[in-house]
Amino acid sequence: MIMENKTALQIDDRNISEEEAGFYRYEKVLEFVKKLGQALEKKDLNKIIEVFQDRIAIRSMMILRGKYDQYLQLIVDSFILLLQKHDIELIKKDLQRLIEFLHENNISEFIIHEILSVAFHVRNEGLFNKLEKMIDEQKNIFHKEKVYYWLLHSRASWYEVFKKDHKKAIEFNLRVVFAMKNIDRVLYLKAKFGLTYNKELMPKQKIKDFLYFSEEFLKENNLHDAFRGEVEAGRAYLALARQQGLKNDAFDTLEQAKNIILKSLRVSKEINYPNLEIIASEMMADIYKERIKKVQAYLKVKSRDDFIINIIKRTKDDERKMSSFLKKAGIARKKYNYQTVFTEKYKKEYYKHIT
């Protein structure tokens, strides 16, 4: 039995429930992981379907990911087993049958998007290509048109990160923006986020855009994208500080970067977002590294006025903090040990964790 956890998250001055935020707390996610893992081991299709009927459970597993990306692979393996048992292949002519099967079993069409997202996260090019060919220009097959555009947005992410084809990523996200503006606010914002991420914009414009997206995502109770937006704003602040060279303003900009990243780092564990924890820790180290670098350069060209004397006093502390955040990032990476390919080497460890 999956136990309900009624505690709410407090973000700024708001209380947001699990259901509103669209993810479960850590302990509850582990119960679903165990349930799905045991169902897969026993090839219990009914139990697999039961877990797949809970979109929040699947989304929570995807966010948490698990060591060796085990939760992601668990979702894929379970999905593939369902298809095999019902003689459905990942080919274009079987998409209609797949949609019918999902509706007959009260599983959201969004599960196709989740599987595509898993393929993206574990860099499974074979699975991604199969799904991409299956859904390409098949918008009318879906009962909910917006599912197709969620898939299109994931394809944009694939071309952006894996293919390094920013032009194609922008093309896909523009299609999503035009189609979803008045239909799906979250997807519209995610596509706009992707456009800002891929375009060559000045740091100040990126800061403005990402802070806006963060605020808008928060209004939609989408905490993970909200704080990812803040991290990207922090990254843009860091880029701006580098542009500012040895001006005093550069140190103020680094302080702004630090404050915004620290906020995301603090909340990362509360919202079960290990990837945010890793990125934010590494960025904190980069911020302190940049400040140390500026102090060293400043001493070569500037006199020791009151401003720089105060900065120098903090340099030793900056070095310690930089080292500390690098260590935290390393520990987090080791703890979660995300793999780009799920190989046989990790199978024993994977099944040990899910059963």
pLDDT digits 0-9 by tens, 119-128: 888 888 889 8
> What pLDDT score was predicted for residue 341?
38
Q: Where are the domains of the chain?
A: 209-336
- The answer, yes or no, to whether residue 278 has pLDDT greater than 70, is yes
* Tens digit of each residue's pLDDT (9 = 90 or more) over 20-40: 778 888 889 999 999 999 999
**Average pLDDT across the chain, whole number:** 84
Please give the model's pTM, rounded to 2 decimal places.
0.82
**pLDDT exceeds 50 at position 352:** no
3-class DSSP assignment, residue 49: helix
**CA dist., res. 152 & res. 127, Å (int):** 16
Specify the 3-state DSSP secondary structure of 272. coil
Instruction: Read off the pLDDT of each residue in 167-187 and give the average, rounded to a whole number.
Output: 94
**CA–CA gap between residue 191 and residue 196 (Å, rounded):** 9
DSSP string of 283-314?
HHHHHHHHHHHHHHHHHHHS---HHHHHHHHH
Q: Which residue has the higher pLDDT, 56 or 342?
A: 56
Rounded CA separation 89/211 (Å): 42
Q: What is the pLDDT of residue 155?
A: 92
pLDDT single digits (tens) 305-335: 666 666 666 666 777 777 777 777 776 666 6
User: Rounded to an integer, what distance in angstroms lies between the CA atom of residue 331 and that of residue 95?
Assistant: 42
Q: Are 5 and 28 in contact (CB under 8 A)?
A: yes
pLDDT score at 336: 60
Tokens standing for 268?
């990362």
